[in-house]
Chain A
Amino acid sequence: MELNRAVAVSMAYGPAAGLEIVDALASEPSLQSYHLLPGVRGDLLARLGRLSEARAEFARAAQLTRNARESALLIERARQLSAAGSADDSKG
């Protein structure tokens, strides 16, 4: 619930506000292996332009999910960010 709230807040009031909620959740022990947490965190980081952190989060989420389709989607998002990240790097 809190995770969805974070996303809703980020849509209404910007990704930084959402990230605050997510970071507060990240310390929750019961959520350590919950794949949607890094998934959402990755998304918020990407929207804030923190691309390499975002990529790492998507990769972690892909490892945590037990669903093959979900995993493929998360890997694809990490891959897209690699491409975007290297484009940024080349711009210097």
Chain B
Amino acid sequence: MATSDIHCTIDAVWRMESAKIIAVLARIVGDVELAEDLAQDALVIALERWPEAGVPDRPGAWLMATAKHRAIDRVRRDVSLERKREELGRELEMQQGTNGAEFDATLDNDIEDDLLRLIFTACHPVLSTEARVALTLRLLGGLTTGEIARAFLVSEATIAQRIVRAKRTLAAAHVPFEVPGEADRAARLSSVLEVIYLIFNEGYAATAGDDWVRPALCEDALRLGRILAELVPNEPEAHGLVALMEIQASRLRARVGPSGEPILLFDQNRARWDQLLIRRGLAALARAEKLGGACGPYTLQAAIAACHARARTPEETDWARIAALYDALAQLTPLPRRGVEPRGRGLDGVWPGSGA
């Protein structure tokens, strides 16, 4: 395999696996910044070795193992992490085994929990919304600083600084690497959902720049949303958000004309709507409603999107139902924010088509 092909492979593996690796390392070392550094070390080792030795059979597992070994070495070596070492020691004792294989097995079982911890940490309320978005795309989306900068039309240095500051803020505030307890779970989950939807919206109707849509950001948000919904399968709003994003994304192809101009809902060629995404969206919506989430904000918005998705022509749209759903949504929205559109919700929505 040519070196450039290997680099493409590494990129792809990294995009898929980096969140899990950083999540597991963050739990081992108790610090998101150090976790990301160690994960990057493993990536660099892969970039050095794979072109010569070839790509391993299970590249994701290889990266994870390499990164974990570095993390464990680091914990063992680093005197300042004495406390953490004791915790690890206790954990190992509790497992009644101190050999490496059992240690690894313990860690593997917890990958999903670690991923959830990482999502909640990256979207922690101690951070500004901008910082949450950047950190989430970086740590969970596997995007490079440059990719995030291009997506949000700011300089790479700005994003790099935003991410560094965010990680320092988490450390300074001693934000524990954990899934929030029952008391603030709802508020913390809503912060996570908000961050994912902001990312989606910036892709779906860019607030600035020359392109109206940036489908890659939509895909990143959808990917994060689907992962989240699997991690918290009993949270109706997680499914509601996925439903909303799937159905909106189904229209991406139809929303932009041949020279990049926006095409509004009424003028879209509905044959170009992605039926697979619509089916997935309707299924997620049904799941959210079955879980008792019919009145959550994302599920309500998904129900509105579903009304459009089900109408074969604009005239067939059930506008009375849509108006009723918006009424329900208006009841929910806390008063200070009533009437304020979420940033980035562009011309789509239900803005009627241009001209007759």
Contact = CB atoms under 8 A, between A and B. Distances in A.
A36 interface: yes
Contacts of A36: 341, 345-347, 351
A69 to B, nearest CB: 4
B339 interface: yes
Contact of A69 (B210, B323, B329, B349): B210
Given A12-B322, A39-B347, 6 more contacts: A3-B341, A7-B349, A36-B341, A39-B351, A67-B346, A70-B212
26 contacts: A4-B304, A8-B319, A8-B322, A8-B325, A8-B350, A9-B323, A12-B320, A13-B323, A25-B339, A28-B339, A28-B340, A30-B339, A30-B340, A36-B347, A39-B351, A40-B351, A43-B352, A47-B352, A67-B206, A67-B212, A69-B261, A70-B212, A70-B262, A70-B346, A72-B261, A80-B355
A50 interface: no
Contacts of B345: 36
A74 to B, nearest CB: 9
Interface string B193-235: 0000000000001111111100000000000000000000000
A31 B339 contact: yes
B93 interface: no
Contacts of B262: 69-70, 73
A9 B322 CA distance: 8
A1 B339 contact: yes
Interface of A: 1-5, 7-13, 25, 28, 30-31, 34, 36, 39-40, 43, 47, 66-70, 72-73, 76-77, 80
Chain B interface residue number, banded: 35 or more
A1 B329 contact: yes
Contact of A4 (B207, B210, B350): B350
A73 B347 contact: yes
B333 interface: yes
A47 B208 CA distance: 29
Contacts of A67: 205-209, 212, 346
Contacts of A2: 326, 330, 338-339
A31 B210 contact: no
Interface of B: 205-212, 260-262, 304, 317, 319-320, 322-323, 325-327, 329-330, 333, 338-341, 345-347, 349-352, 354-355
Nearest to A25: B339
Contacts of A43: 351-352
A69 B205 CA distance: 10
Contacts of B330: 1-2, 5
Contacts of B341: 1, 3-4, 31, 34, 36
Nearest to B355: A80
A7 B261 CA distance: 22
B355 A1 contact: no
Contact of B333 (A1, A31, A76): A1
Contacts of B326: 1-2, 4-5, 8-9
A5 to B, nearest CB: 3
Contact of A76 (B211, B338, B354): B354
Contact of A5 (B212, B317, B323): B323
A68 B209 contact: yes
A5 B347 CA distance: 14
Nearest to A3: B341
B349 A4 contact: yes
B210 A70 contact: no
B252 to A, nearest CB: 14
A71 to B, nearest CB: 10
